[in-house]
Amino acid sequence: MSSTSTRISYDTFAHEAQSVVAGLVTMSKAVDASGLEKALTELLKIRASQINGCAFCIQYHLNIARALPGEPLTRTKLDLLAAWHEAPEHYTARERAALAYTEALVSHLHEGVSDALYAEVAQQFPGMQMAFLTAAIANINAWNRIAVALRFAPPVPKNTA
């Protein structure tokens, strides 16, 4: 049985590996500046983190998703995310395409992305949107691998009672 204690805390990692964090944050800012909807990118970050078993990133991105200004992600949408295939009526065609692409890049990396899936996703994410969507998924995968390997403890939500 393996231990689940933190190997290196997020705070220590962020302090000691500032250039790594800065690089990943720069990539995230580029995605944010691309025009992709923040709610959409938070959905795919949460889904990738669920697949990768990253409790730190799941909690971190749920906290962000719940605090988004404007029309926030619905509680139902967040609650059903792990089983979005069985609840397609709760997700737009664009969200479903992004989630399918996320799962392909996270779960089936060695198989690649089929031409059919790529064409379907490209209809929803034309031109450079596809490149930025791919970068968003790659970025959360990098964070997931770091957080899982170092066993970052999940952040405590700010609005807990």
Q: What is the pLDDT of residues 27-63, one digit of tens each?
A: 999 999 999 999 999 999 999 999 999 999 999 999 9
Q: What is the pLDDT of residues 116-130, one digit of tens each?
A: 999 999 999 999 999
Q: How many other CB atoms are there within 10 angstroms of residue 3's CB atom? A: 7
Token pair belonging to 7: 């190997």
Task: Give the residue with greater pLDDT, 21 vs 111.
Answer: 21
| Average pLDDT of the segment spanning 78-84 | 97
Residue 14 to residues 9, 17, 20, 24, 143, Cα–Cα distance (Å)? 9, 5, 8, 11, 12
pTM: 0.92
Top-level class of domain 10-150 = mainly alpha
Q: What is the pLDDT of residues 10-23, one digit of tens each?
A: 999 999 999 999 99
Give residue for tokens 């792990």.
82
Token pair belonging to 45: 């970050």
pLDDT band at 109 (very low <50, low <70, confident <90, very high): confident
pLDDT band at 2 (very low <50, low <70, confident <90, very high): low
pLDDT of residue 25: 98
Query: Residue 90 is inside which H or E element, if any?
Result: none
